[in-house]
Structure formats: C-alpha cells, structure tokens
C-alpha cells in the first residue's frame, strides 16, 4: 500500500486553557493557529481506517496513546523505548484498521505543529524503508569508523596533532548522524529520550571545536594567517555559549533549546565561512596542501546545503537528497586523508631540505676555518679541536637519529603491510554481504536476510577486534606500552571477560565452566595486559569451538605463582602451528567453526604480554585445545590497587 499522508485535524471544538484535555476534529484541513496551541496540553483526534494490517506513523509528537478495540498502544519522541508498543526511533504503531482514537501531547523541546503529520504505511513499505536506512547508514558508519581508526593509528605513529583533531571531528560527526537518524535512541541510550532530544546541542559545538583545531593545525594558521588564528581562538570561546545553554536546557532549569539551535546555526555558518576563506588565503600564499582542504570543505558544504534545503522542503525528499550529506561527508573524509598525507610528505621534504642547507652551511664554515688556520694557526689549534669534537658528537647524534628513523620506518612498513593484508579479507566479506543485502534482497527469504545481517554484524565485530589488536601491536612495536603491575582480583577479571562475550556464547550455545575455587585469588601483574590475555583466550575458544561445546577456565596454585588455563572442546591446533607461535613468534590466519576469520595477532600478543608479566605460555592440543600461562601471585602489601 502506498503511504498516505493524513494531516491531523487541527480545529479545536472547544478552547479551554485551564489544563483540561481538548479534542481535535479528525481529517479536517484547516490548520490550527499556533497562538492557540499549547505543547504541554493533551489533545484527542479520531481516525477511520480500512481493516488491513498497517503501521501508523505519528510524527513529531512527544507522547502518543492509541485506543483501538479496547487496547492501548504507546509511542512518542519523549517516551523510553521499553515503554513503546513498537520499538523504533519514529512514532510507529501497528494497527489492524477501523476506528481509532489518538491522544496526543507535543512536549518535545523542539515540537513544531506545522511538521506534525500522520502516515499510514503497509508492512512491506515500512520494511523497505527500514532496510534502506540500515544498509545505507551501515556502510556510511563503517567507512567513518575505518577512516577514524586508520588516522588514529597514523597519529600514534607520527604524533601529529592534526590527525588527532581530525579523528575527533570524524567521531563527532558520526555521533551527530547517529542521533539524527535515530540510531542513538534505538541502540545507545534507548531509555533516555530527554537526553536524546537535547544531545545535538552538545555534540555539534564539540564537533565544531574539533574542526577549528583541525583547521588551525592543518593550515598552520599561526604561520600563514595569524589574524585568522586569533579569530579562531575567539570562535572557540564563543562555543561555550551554546554548551552552557544546552546544559541549562538538559538540566530542565529553563527551556532554551530552540534558542540554542539558532545560536549553533549562526556560529556554524560563521565558522564554515571563515574556515573556507582561510583555506583560500593559505592556498594563495603557497601552501599547496590547503587545496585538498578547500575541495573537501566545498564538497561537504554542498552536501550540507542540499540536506538543509530538503529539510525546509525547498528540494524533493528522495534517495539523493536524503543521503547527499553522507556522500559529501565521505568525500570530505577521503580528501582530508589525502591532504594529511600530502602535508606529511611536504613536511618531510622541508626537513630534508633544511638538513641539506645546514650541512652545506657547516661545510662552508669549515672551509673558512681552514683559510684562517694559515694565518692564525697557533691561536686556532684549540678552537679547531673543540669544533672537531663538536662535529663528531653531532655526527654521532645524526647516526643515532638515522638508526632510530630507519627502525621507525621498518615498523611503519610492517604495520602497513599487516593492515593491508589483514583488513582486505574482512572488508571484502562485509562488502559481499552488503552487496547481497542491497542488490538481491528482493530475491532472498526473510530467514536468509536475517542470516546475512547476522553474518555482516559478526564480520564487523571481528574487524573491530582485529583493529584493536593491530593498534596494541603497533604500540608494542614502538615501545609505547608501559608495564604497570598492580593487585588483580582473578574472579572479577574472569567475570568481566565472560560477560563481554555472552552474546557469542548464547549464539553458539557454548557453556563456560569455572574449575576449582577461584574466589579470593589475587594476582600481581599489569591489569590491562592480563584482561587482554583473558579476553583473547576466551574469544579464541569460542571461535574454534562448535555449537553445544564447552569451555573450562581454572587455575592451579603454588607458593609463588598461579597457572591459569582455558580448555575448550573445539577443533584443536596442529603441532606445527603451536611450534610456529611459541618458538618462532609468527602469527597465522585460521578460520573458526562458523567461518570466523582470525589473524593470529591476538594470540601472539597474548604470548608477549604473558612474558612481560614474568610468565610463560603453553599450548596443548588433542581433542580440543588447552592454553595455559603462569603469572605471579600477589604476596606483598606494597601494592594496594585492586582491579
């Protein structure tokens, strides 16, 4: 059934401002005067629909109660998801048709009577709309996550603050889009509608602050545009105004949210205009990386303008206008990444040129010294020795710096090699699933669609864990991980790890058994490294254990250390693979019982972390796999921090 737009009857049969409920005549086209409307007042309206199965969408109202056949159904933008009859970020109510009564209250902070409509949708139309939203935004958010993690790893590698501010701006924009399209209310804070209604007034100023800092560091405004750099500082302070106004609205001290929206719009327009002008000025002064910045900003602005025009009904509401801002954002993210790469290469060339000029200058000075030696040989002998000593020290330092740079380049090359190799397969898998969901959904059964959705979600989860392992591996290669031993409560750590993977355990119907008495056991080691080891060992056991399998976790104690073991009833490990891991420290890719792909990096990191904590790892495999490792017991009171 094609969706039918029904404008809520907006003519009051009786006007009573004493707080009593008022009745709206249904299906009338005469609009209600805004001056006579109170968003804190309850209103009634009546609809007569056909008797087919339908979905009723009552947009914009804060509280909606539907009465049909003696049954109450609840929805509303200010109603927690658990209290809604049908859980959705929209006000959706399933009905069977006939005569229905609606009780409405528009107490959303930004409620607008002009945009309040009632839509009648068929179940097929509703499923298509939801499928388009999930697939399109799943791909969009996936790209944002990958680009954010990629640039975050580069930040940790080169310590350039531009990358950090860039990552924060990506995260902020992603959070706002998640809020705007309802994913935050559905999956992040479903029981916090008031927080969701005001969230945009906090995340937009914070995201724009990150954009300002990114523009300053990327464009080198202190060097190329010092006056604009001072203006950026003023803009940063001005963003405290909407943040304070948001807090007042969120804390229900006063309802300033509409005014906050206006302030954010004004500051945002000024901010984007100034950033565009500054990028043009910096480009005209010869800073070539500003070209990438300017093109990226222009593409994003075009998408944002078309998006705003659609919101104000200046453009038709279609697939292109709905998702043009996402396309612009993705283009901006990619171009910014190219720009950061160009900027990094340019900086390296400048440093190399400065080094050559310094060496040339030093050589010229040395020549002058030789000429002076002929005239003042006796007086300059001591000075020549001192200069020679300084030059030797400088050369030693230069060689040391060269060696460190070579090691860093080797680590970087190895990291990029691992990233390109390990990410290709899971990304290809996700792309294949999404291609099936997008292009062949009409040919697939509901059961197959559900299966593909679960596989896509699992592939994304595996990709996230792989990215976490790669990030930790890169930190280890650069010696950025600090060993901080503390007192560890073994039982609490095990419970946290099991709780983390409970959905996977339920999905494969795998039981975890805890052997022996594991309470009141305290270990001594780095709490983050120990938690990482337990998470990876339990996750590997789940991955390589078939459905209805079992996993045992336990500990054997002696006077000074504990031997912790994780035993599963899975497919086991070949002896060659165990030898390759423990003796040679080489990772290897394997597939789990549900075709889950693993890189082997996690188990390799577990071995390194165990050894950093003064322990040793063993692996046995017969019918299943037993992985055990030792860790010192807590036997001194000098350390009192408990995990």
Same domain, 132 and 116: no
Share of the chain above pLDDT 90, in %: 5
Between residues 608 and 553, the one the model is more confident about: 553
Give 554: exposed, middle or buried? Use CB within 10 Å, 0-12, 13-18, 19+. Answer: middle
Q: Is the pLDDT of residue 60 over 50?
A: yes
Same domain, 156 and 114: no
Model confidence at 64, in pLDDT bands (50, 70, 90)? very high
Region 213-237 average pLDDT: 87
Between residues 202 and 35, the one the model is more confident about: 202
CA distance 436 to 518: 47
Among the listed residues 100, 98, 99, the one whose alpha carbon sits nearest the alpha carbon of residue 75: 100
* Number of CB atoms found within 10 A of residue 578's CB: 17
CA distance 495 to 641: 19
Same domain, 88 and 162: no
Please report the pLDDT score of residue 596 as a whole number.
66
Region 123-141 average pLDDT: 82
Please report the pLDDT score of residue 417 as a whole number.
54
Q: Is position 61 within any domain?
A: yes
For helices 601-612 and 575-582, what crossing angle results, to 10°? 50
Same domain, 262 and 170: yes
Q: Is position 50 within any domain?
A: yes
Is residue 301 within 8 Å of 237, Cβ to Cβ? Answer: no
Q: Which two tokens stand for residue 8?
A: 């809520």
Q: Is position 267 within any domain?
A: yes
Q: Is position 408 within any domain?
A: no
Is residue 239 within 8 Å of 246, Cβ to Cβ? Answer: no
Q: Which two tokens stand for residue 610?
A: 């165990």
Q: Is the pLDDT of residue 206 over 90?
A: yes
Please report the pLDDT score of residue 476 as a whole number.
62
Most confident by average pLDDT, 34-38, 112-116, 388-392, 407-411: 388-392
Residues spanned by the domain of 74: 4-121
Contacts of 584 (CB under 8 A, 6+ apart): none
Model confidence at 209, in pLDDT bands (50, 70, 90)? very high
pLDDT digit string, tens, across residues 327-371? 766 776 676 666 666 666 666 666 667 777 777 777 777 777 777
For helices 161-180 and 123-158, what crossing angle results, to 10°? 170
CA distance 24 to 45: 5
Q: Is position 496 within any domain?
A: yes
Region 258-287 average pLDDT: 85
Region 117-143 average pLDDT: 82
Is residue 555 within 8 Å of 565, Cβ to Cβ? Answer: yes
Q: Which two tokens stand for residue 547?
A: 């459905």
CA distances from 20 to 8, 16, 66 (A): 20, 7, 19
Domain boundary among 121, 151, 172: 121
Same domain, 57 and 186: no
Same domain, 201 and 326: yes
Q: Is position 18 within any domain?
A: yes
Same domain, 278 and 323: yes
Please report the pLDDT score of residue 308 as a whole number.
65
Among the listed residues 111, 109, 79, the one whose alpha carbon sits nearest the alpha carbon of residue 250: 109
Please report the pLDDT score of residue 636 as a whole number.
65
* Number of CB atoms found within 10 A of residue 193's CB: 21
Q: Is 121 helix (H, G, I), strand (E, B) or coil?
A: strand
Among the listed residues 229, 300, 289, 239, the one whose alpha carbon sits nearest the alpha carbon of residue 264: 239
- Backbone torsions φ then ψ of 482, nearest 5 degrees: -105, 130
Same domain, 162 and 205: yes
Q: Is position 470 within any domain?
A: no
pLDDT digit string, tens, across residues 574-596? 877 777 777 655 656 676 677 66
Give 607: exposed, middle or buried? Use CB within 10 Å, 0-12, 13-18, 19+. Answer: buried
* DSSP classification of residue 25: P
Is residue 69 within 8 Å of 38, Cβ to Cβ? Answer: no
Contacts of 533 (CB under 8 A, 6+ apart): 606, 609, 610, 629
Please list the residues that pair with 567 across neighbouring strands.
552, 626
Domain boundary among 87, 121, 155: 121
Model confidence at 42, in pLDDT bands (50, 70, 90)? confident
Is residue 285 within 8 Å of 224, Cβ to Cβ? Answer: yes
The total number of structural domains in the chain stands at 3
Same domain, 170 and 104: no
Q: What is the CATH number of the domain that holds 627?
A: 3.30.565.10
Among the listed residues 273, 271, 264, the one whose alpha carbon sits nearest the alpha carbon of residue 213: 271
* Number of CB atoms found within 10 A of residue 223's CB: 11
Give 159: exposed, middle or buried? Use CB within 10 Å, 0-12, 13-18, 19+. Answer: exposed
Please report the pLDDT score of residue 542 as a whole number.
84
User: With b meaning 16 or more CB within 10 Å and e meaning fewer, what string describes 251-289?
Assistant: eeeeebbeebbebbeebbeebbebbbebbebbbeeebeb
Same domain, 291 and 149: yes
Region 41-57 average pLDDT: 81
Domain boundary among 84, 101, 121: 121
For helices 240-250 and 226-238, what crossing angle results, to 10°? 10
pLDDT digit string, tens, across residues 240-268? 999 999 999 898 888 888 889 889 888 88
Same domain, 117 and 131: no
The overall average pLDDT reported for the chain is 76
Among the listed residues 218, 315, 189, 212, the one whose alpha carbon sits nearest the alpha carbon of residue 268: 212
Kind plus residue range of the DSSP H or E element containing 624 = strand 624-632
Q: Is the pLDDT of residue 445 over 90?
A: no
Between residues 349 and 194, the one the model is more confident about: 194
Q: What share of the chain is helix, strand, coil (3-state, %, to 5)?
A: 60, 15, 25
Model confidence at 455, in pLDDT bands (50, 70, 90)? low
Model confidence at 17, in pLDDT bands (50, 70, 90)? very low
pLDDT digit string, tens, across residues 548-557? 888 989 888 8
Q: What is the CATH number of the domain that holds 155?
A: 1.20.1070
Q: Is the pLDDT of residue 561 over 50?
A: yes
Region 5-23 average pLDDT: 34
Q: Is the pLDDT of residue 28 over 80?
A: no
Handedness of CA 147, 148, 151, 156 (dihedral sign): negative
Share of the chain above pLDDT 70, in %: 71
Q: Is 392 helix (H, G, I), strand (E, B) or coil?
A: helix
Which regions of 478-560 does DSSP assign to beta strands (E)? Answer: 485-489, 511-514, 522-526, 550-557
CA distance 432 to 452: 10
Same domain, 22 and 98: yes
Q: What pTM, to 2 d.p., does this model score?
A: 0.49
Please report the pLDDT score of residue 18 as a whole number.
29
- Residue ranges of alpha helices (H) inside 285-315 are 290-311
Q: Is position 16 within any domain?
A: yes
Region 467-490 average pLDDT: 72
- Residue ranges of alpha helices (H) inside 28-73 are none
Model confidence at 511, in pLDDT bands (50, 70, 90)? confident
Q: Is the pLDDT of residue 10 over 70?
A: no
Is residue 614 within 8 Å of 539, Cβ to Cβ? Answer: no
Q: Is 46 helix (H, G, I), strand (E, B) or coil?
A: strand
SS (H, E, C) 435-459: HHHHHCHHHCCHHHHHHHHHHHHHH
CA distances from 535 to 327, 371, 421, 469, 491 (A): 37, 70, 24, 11, 14
Model confidence at 313, in pLDDT bands (50, 70, 90)? low
Q: What is the CATH number of the domain that holds 104?
A: 2.60.120
Most confident by average pLDDT, 61-65, 109-113, 354-358, 416-420: 61-65
């Amino acid at each position: 059934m094609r969706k039918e737009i029904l404008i809520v009857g907006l003519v009051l049969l009786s006007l009573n401002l004493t707080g009593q409920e008022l009745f709206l005549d249904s299906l009338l086209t005469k609009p209600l005067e805004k001056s006579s409307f109170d968003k804190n007042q309850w209103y009634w309206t009546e609809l007569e629909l056909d008797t087919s199965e339908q979905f009723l969408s009552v947009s914009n109202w804060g509280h909606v109660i539907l009465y049909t056949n003696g049954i109450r159904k609840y929805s509303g933008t200010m109603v927690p998801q658990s209290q809604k009859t049908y859980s959705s970020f929209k006000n959706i109510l399933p009905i069977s048709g006939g005569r229905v009564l609606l009780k409405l209250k528009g107490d959303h902070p930004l409620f607008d009577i002009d945009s309040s409509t009632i839509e009648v949708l068929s179940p097929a139309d509703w499923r298509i709309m939801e499928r388009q939203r999930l697939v399109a935004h799943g791909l969009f958010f996936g790209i944002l996550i990958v680009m954010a993690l990629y640039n975050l790893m580069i930040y940790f590698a080169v310590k350039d603050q531009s990358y950090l501010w860039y990552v924060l701006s990506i995260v902020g924009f992603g959070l706002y889009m998640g809020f705007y399209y309802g994913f935050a209310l559905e999956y992040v804070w479903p029981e916090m509608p008031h927080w969701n209604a005001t969230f945009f007034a906090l995340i937009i100023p914070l995201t724009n602050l990150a954009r300002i800092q990114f523009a300053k560091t990327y464009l080198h405004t202190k060097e190329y545009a010092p006056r604009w750099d001072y203006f950026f500082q003023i803009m940063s302070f001005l963003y405290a105004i909407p943040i304070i106004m948001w807090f007042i609205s969120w804390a229900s001290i006063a309802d300033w949210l509409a005014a906050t929206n206006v302030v954010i719009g004004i500051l945002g327009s000024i901010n984007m205009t100034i950033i565009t002008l500054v990028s043009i000025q910096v480009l005209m002064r010869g800073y070539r990386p500003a070209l990438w910045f300017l093109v990226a900003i222009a593409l994003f602005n075009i998408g944002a303008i078309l998006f705003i025009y659609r919101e104000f009904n200046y453009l038709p509401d279609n697939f292109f206008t709905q998702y043009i801002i996402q396309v612009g954002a993705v283009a901006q993210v990619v171009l910014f990444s190219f720009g950061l790469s160009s900027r990094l290469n340019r900086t390296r060339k400048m440093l190399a040129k400065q080094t050559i000029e310094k060496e040339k200058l030093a050589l010229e000075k040395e020549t002058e010294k030789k000429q002076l030696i002929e005239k003042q040989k006796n007086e300059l002998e001591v000075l020549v020795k001192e200069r020679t000593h300084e030059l030797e020290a400088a050369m030693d330092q230069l060689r040391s710096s060269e060696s460190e740079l070579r090691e860093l380049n080797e680590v970087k090359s190895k990291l990029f090699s691992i990233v390109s190799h390990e990410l290709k397969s899971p990304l290809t898998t996700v792309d294949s699933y999404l291609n099936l969901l997008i292009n062949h959904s009409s040919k697939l059964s509901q059961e197959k669609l559900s299966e593909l959705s679960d596989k896509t979600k699992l592939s994304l989860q595996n990709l996230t864990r792989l990215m976490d392992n790669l990030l930790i591996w890169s930190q280890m290669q650069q010696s950025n991980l600090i060993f901080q031993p503390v007192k560890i409560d073994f039982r609490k750590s095990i419970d946290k790890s099991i709780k983390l993977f409970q959905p996977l355990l339920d999905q494969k119907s795998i039981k975890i058994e805890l052997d022996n008495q594991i309470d009141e056991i305290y270990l001594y080691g780095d709490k983050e490294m120990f938690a990482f080891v337990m998470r990876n060992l339990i996750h590997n056991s789940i991955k390589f254990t078939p459905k209805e399998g079992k996993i045992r976790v336990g500990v054997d104690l002696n006077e000074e250390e504990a031997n912790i073991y994780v035993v599963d009833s899975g497919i086991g490990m070949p002896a060659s693979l165990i030898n390759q891991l423990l003796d040679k420290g080489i990772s290897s890719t394997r597939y789990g019982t549900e075709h889950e792909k693993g890189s082997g990096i996690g188990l390799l990191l577990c071995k390194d972390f165990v050894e950093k904590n003064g322990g040793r790892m063993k692996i046995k495999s017969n019918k299943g796999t037993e992985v055990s490792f030792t860790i010192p017991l807590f036997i001194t009171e000098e350390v009192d921090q408990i995990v």
